[in-house]
Structure 1
Amino acid sequence: MINKIILIFLIIIHLSSNALAEKDKLIISVASSLYKVSKELANEWEKNEKTKIIIIPGSTPLLARQIERGQRSEFIITANYYWLEWMLEKGLVEKDSILKIAKNSLVIISGINKPIYLDINSPEFKYDFIEQISSSMIAIPHPSSVPLGIYSKQALKSLDLWDSIEKKLVYTSSAQANLKFISQGEVNLGISYLSDAIFSSKVKILSQIDNKKFEYEQPIYWAAKVKNKNNDNYFLEWLIGDKAQNIFKNYGFEIISKKENN
């Protein structure tokens, strides 16, 4: 009898310890293009908070579907609003928690050893671009679902290139997979986020695609609280504070003004 009581007592202690451990960490699903900066953000957060951050990186559509299938996450950070709308429709995130947390830009890149030069402001740009892929291809993530692919298609249409090069496109699964594919020299050209390209020693930036001049939707990162989680929104508010925004800026992102979330 005493042994049974001791066993039950030990089980209760074990379960209580696990419950406390679960409360001491935040699991964040993060778009792959934010992986590097999210590690720095986590380090900064943990300096002053008791909760440890666990990062789950992946493409935005993959993360959204993982949460739909039951993957535990307290918060999700996506690379566009479309997938947050999808999650809202399925009741997976809390609408009132949604915030913009950072912005990005698109750049045309090539492998570091490719002898390629492109000037997006040149009258010959369209001809030069097509010439560079005449015997090669251009890589972008899939425009049917991956945010970088969606933005890239918009940009290529605005540059009046899409119809001319559509048959030359190679589709990849995510922003990070796309960057790696281009860096390996598998294609002559590709499109990347500025924040990814500037920290890669294996690619070079040929031209930045100004979204104001060429009228494509600027990449914006959104954060939201996953529904039915007990955590408050303090972490999300922290992401738009000065300390976190300066970290985003140091990693090549454009910061969000407080007015943009009002």
Structure 2
Amino acid sequence: MRYLAPFLVLPVILFASLSVRADTITVFAAASLTNAMTAAARSYEDQTGDHIQMSFASSSTLARQIAAGAPADIFISANQKWMDWLSDQDMIAPGTRHDVVANSLVVIAPTDSPVETVSLTGDPGLVALLETDDRIAVGDPDHVPAGIYAKQALSKLGQWDELSPRLARADNVRAALALVERGEAPFGIVYSTDAAIAQDVKIVATLPKDSHPPITYPVALTRDAHTDRNTKFLAWLLGDDAGRIFADYGFDPVETLKTGTTPQ
């Protein structure tokens, strides 16, 4: 079962027809960064007077849009795969790629669910808690980073074969979160940062970090975006000012190049 969130994709599609201010920095960022990057962009605008144009969707959607010619200056992916994919197509400016933040995966349920904790390692597994027509909301494991990580984790935990037919496959992780918030799915697998900003869900399990590759978010300039303005914003994103904002929204730090705070 597949659930789409066209409202998140539409801004990307419309970019080709929009006029962009000369001082605008256009950023395509993974949907799970919506709140944190919106706050970071506003802070940077206040400090510098530059204008940050944000667009959020699944990393796969954004990467494909960039490859098709969408005018993004900076891309932030929720996994390495889609940054690698763009790099292989010579769409990333050499020497500008860095990991900016890290995340973790959790299982969520609606706040009014009678389930308080879920075992991910013993019997019965998560599938035993599902009614006949129930589905677990996840980003589509075929292309959404959160779903790819979820599949890797569930496979290692020995639950993928049972759970894979019972998934509500969403077009991005925020769409999966929304299904649980609305009570349309009794459980979901999302990033811990998504659960932290949601009003109507609770965490019932945390997926072990050793059950999937590290969840790191790479950032880079796109091929033709190597300007002074864009480079300064990229440096700021990797610095302490932005790091504090990301931490406020629950993201973990990664070992990366710290290139400063407020640009001069």
Report the TM-score range of the alignment, normalised by the length of the smaller protein.
0.7 to 0.9
Report how far residue 259 of structure 1 moved.
Answer: 6.4
Report the counterpart of residue 68 of structure 1 in structure 2: 67
Report the counterpart of residue 179 of structure 1 in structure 2: 177
Distance change >3 Å, CA 126–CA 247, structure 1 → 2: farther
Residue correspondence of structure 1 range 215-254 to structure 2 within 5 A: 215-232=211-228, 233-254=231-252
Report the counterpart of residue 165 of structure 1 in structure 2: 163
1:155-211 residue CA offsets vs partner (Å, 9 max, x unmatched): 111221111222212211101110001211112211010001011011111011131
User: Is this contact kept in 1: 2:58–2:171, CA < 8 A?
Assistant: yes
Report the counterpart of residue 11 of structure 1 in structure 2: none
Is 187-196 or 232-241 further displaced after alignment?
232-241
Report the counterpart of residue 29 of structure 1 in structure 2: 28
Cα distance in 1, alignment partners of residues 110 and 168 from structure 2? 15
User: Is this contact kept in 2: 1:151–1:218, CA < 8 A?
Assistant: no
User: Is this contact kept in 2: 1:101–1:255, CA < 8 A?
Assistant: yes
Across the aligned residues of Structure 1 and Structure 2, the Cα RMSD in angstroms comes to 2.0
User: Is this contact kept in 2: 1:100–1:260, CA < 8 A?
Assistant: no
Report how far residue 131 of structure 1 moved.
Answer: 1.7
Report the counterpart of residue 195 of structure 1 in structure 2: 193
Report the counterpart of residue 14 of structure 1 in structure 2: none
User: Which of the pair is proportionally richer in helix?
Assistant: 1
Cα distance in 2, alignment partners of residues 107 and 196 from structure 1? 9
1:214-238 residue CA offsets vs partner (Å, 9 max, x unmatched): x311211111101112423222221
Report how far residue 93 of structure 1 moved.
Answer: 1.0
Q: Give the 3-state SS of the residue equivalent to 1:96 in structure 2.
A: coil
Report the counterpart of residue 211 of structure 1 in structure 2: 209
Report the counterpart of residue 54 of structure 1 in structure 2: 53
Report how far residue 40 of structure 1 moved.
Answer: 0.7
TM-score (norm 1): 0.85
- Quote the sequence identity (%): 29
Q: Give the 3-state SS of the residue equivalent to 1:254 in structure 2.
A: coil
Residue correspondence of structure 1 range 77-96 to structure 2 within 5 A: 77-96=76-95
1:138-164 residue CA offsets vs partner (Å, 9 max, x unmatched): 121111111001000011112211112
User: Is this contact kept in 1: 2:79–2:216, CA < 8 A?
Assistant: yes
**How many residues get paired?**
238
Is 2:140 aligned against 1:110?
no
Cα distance in 2, alignment partners of residues 86 and 79 from structure 1? 13
TM-score (norm 2): 0.84
Distance change >3 Å, CA 217–CA 224, structure 1 → 2: same
User: Is this contact kept in 2: 1:78–1:223, CA < 8 A?
Assistant: yes
Report how far residue 120 of structure 1 moved.
Answer: 3.5
Is 2:156 aligned against 1:153?
no
Q: Which runs of 5+ in 2 are unaligned?
A: 1-18, 260-264
Aligned partner letter, 2:44 = W
